[in-house]
């Protein structure tokens, strides 16, 4: 059976720059995925990679885009800093801590008739410039994780709806995996990508084929399952958090390599707060730092694995040769 190699990109907002650095190293060692899956910022990174082949060129393109992103400062909040943090607190703590946090935030009056904290227009424009729809359709197979929100007519997405979604996620509502290249229009293609990154309350949810979707990280921040369902045999997963609780052994049929940040990736160790301020920090210095760390961590992770596999392959080859040669010498008739 021919191996089907996948690349899985976790969500994590501005920490996605880390993936750009890691992927730069992967491209340098001639890694080329057959299929990509991403959630949230991972979905957007995946779209850039899938649409700008060859893969090494795509890695360079992604690296450059993140540099531009740091310079452009396009992520601008519509409301105050507290609202940004509150939005992300809810997103990052889902589904385990969300109910408690939401209640807390509601009680102090942060959420009230909020549609979205950030203006989606700049990020949409940036995405359309970075990813050509036709090239994406012709590129590497791309899957994104989205979470199906409740679609109640005449009800806007508000904290109450968010709480309901959190409860649904906790009760076992799975994320959906959407095949981006199956979009029936360019508009829908971009909507799928933006839906995966539609942080509840921070960015507007997206409607696709009658379903309302929000950020896939809600229920599946590391969507390897999407690739496993497509017959993926090997995958590299790039996480965007320290100590990520993600169990590789749930995929017994896949050979998985996890690249995890070795140094603290959040700017603060405080739970929720640290995640929130790092998630939204698209500053140039921060992006460059994360890219460098991603490159270094990928190298530190892959080198010992590749060395081990090479040694083992050489051992097997040597053993086979030894057996063949020994068989030949054993079968050889006596010289005297």
Partner 1 sequence: MQNFATQSLQDLQQQVPIISDKALVDLVNGIQVNQDLIRFRQNRGFIGRLFDGITGSDRDRQILTDSNFNVGMQALHQWVLALSDNLRISNVALEITQTKLLEARNAIRNHRQELDLLNQITDRLQIQLNNHEHRIHNLEQRVYRIETIQQIGEIIAAWQSGRTYQGFHWSVQIAFVIREIVDFALADYERTTNDRQLRPKIIDQLISASRQIPDHAFSLVTLLNLAHQDTIEENRELAQALLEVRSLPPSRLLEMPYLFTLGTTLEFAGLPEEARPQDPAKTAFELCRRDLGVIYPATDKKEFIEHIIKETASDRLSFRNSF
Give the interface with partner 1 as residue ranges (CB under 8 A).
93, 96-97, 242-249, 254-258, 260-262, 264, 269-272, 301, 304-305, 308-309, 312, 315, 319, 322-323, 325-327, 329-336
| DSSP E strand boundaries for the chain | 5-9, 35-39, 141-149, 176-179, 206-208, 211-215, 234-238, 255-259
User: Which is closer to partner 1, CB of 209 or CB of 323?
Assistant: 323
Distance CA 335, CA 60 (A): 63
Q: Which residue(s) pair with 178 in the sheet?
A: 144
Angstrom distance (rounded) from CA 37 to CA 27: 17
Nearer to partner 1 among residue 56 and residue 234 (C-beta): 234
Residue 186 vs residues 43, 48, 118, 190, 329: alpha-carbon distances, Å: 16, 15, 23, 6, 67
- In the complex with partner 1, the residue whose CB is nearer, 184 or 247, is 247
Q: Which is nearer to partner 1, 54 or 336 (CB)?
A: 336
CB of 39 to partner 1, least distance (A): 18
Find the shortest distance in angstroms from Cβ 129 to partner 1: 35
Q: Write down the least CB distance from residue 108 to partner 1, Å.
A: 19
If 0-12 CB within 10 Å is exposed, 13-18 middle and 19+ buried, where does residue 39 land?
buried
Helix H or strand E segment including 98: helix 98-107
Given the complex with partner 1, which of 187 and 325 has the nearer CB atom?
Answer: 325
User: Least distance (Å) from partner 1 to the CB of residue 65?
Assistant: 27
Distance between CA atoms of residues 252 and 265, nearest Å: 29
Rank residues 77 and 274 by Cβ distance to partner 1 and give the closer one: 274
**Tokens in use for 114?**
């909020």
Residue 303 Cβ, how far from partner 1 at the closest point, in Å? 10
The dihedral sign for the CA sequence 295, 47, 86, 177: negative
Q: How far is the CB of 252 from partner 1 (least distance, A)?
A: 9
Nearer to partner 1, 28 or 312 (CB): 312
State in angstroms the smallest separation of the CB of 162 from partner 1. 18
Residue 261 CB partners (closer than 8 Å, separation 6+)? 18, 239, 240, 241, 242, 293, 294, 297
Backbone angles phi, psi at 214, to 5 degrees: -125, -175
């Amino acid at each position: 059976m021919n191996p089907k190699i996948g690349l899985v990109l976790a969500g994590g907002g501005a920490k996605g720059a880390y993936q750009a650095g890691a992927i730069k190293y992967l491209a340098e060692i001639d890694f080329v995925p057959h299929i990509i899956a991403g959630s949230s910022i991972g979905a957007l990174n995946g779209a850039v990679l899938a649409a700008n082949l060859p893969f090494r060129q795509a890695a360079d393109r992604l690296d450059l885009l993140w540099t531009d992103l740091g310079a452009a400062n396009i992520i601008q909040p519509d409301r105050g800093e507290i609202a940004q943090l509150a939005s992300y607190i809810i997103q990052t703590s889902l589904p385990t801590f969300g109910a408690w946090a939401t209640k807390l935030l509601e009680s102090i009056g942060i959420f009230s008739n909020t549609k979205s904290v950030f203006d989606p227009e700049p990020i949409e424009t940036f995405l359309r410039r970075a990813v050509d729809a036709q090239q994406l359709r012709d590129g590497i197979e791309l899957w994104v994780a989205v979470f199906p929100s409740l679609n109640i007519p005449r009800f806007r997405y508000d904290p109450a709806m968010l709480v309901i979604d959190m409860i649904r996620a906790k009760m076992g509502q799975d994320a959906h995996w959407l095949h981006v290249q199956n979009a029936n229009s360019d508009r829908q293609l971009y909507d799928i990508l933006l839906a995966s990154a539609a942080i509840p309350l921070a960015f507007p949810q997206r409607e696709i084929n009658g379903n309302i979707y929000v950020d896939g990280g809600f229920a599946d921040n590391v969507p390897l399952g999407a690739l496993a369902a497509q017959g993926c045999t090997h995958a590299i997963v790039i996480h965007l958090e320290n100590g990520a609780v993600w169990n590789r052994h749930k995929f017994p049929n896949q050979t998985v390599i996890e690249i995890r940040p070795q140094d603290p990736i959040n700017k603060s160790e405080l739970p929720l707060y640290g995640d929130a301020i790092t998630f939204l920090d698209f500053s140039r210095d921060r992006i460059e730092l994360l890219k460098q760390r991603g490159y270094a961590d990928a190298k530190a992770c892959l080198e010992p694995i590749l060395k081990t596999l090479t040694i083992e392959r050489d051992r097997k080859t040597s053993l086979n040769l030894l057996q063949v040669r020994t068989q030949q010498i054993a079968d050889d008739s006596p010289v005297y």
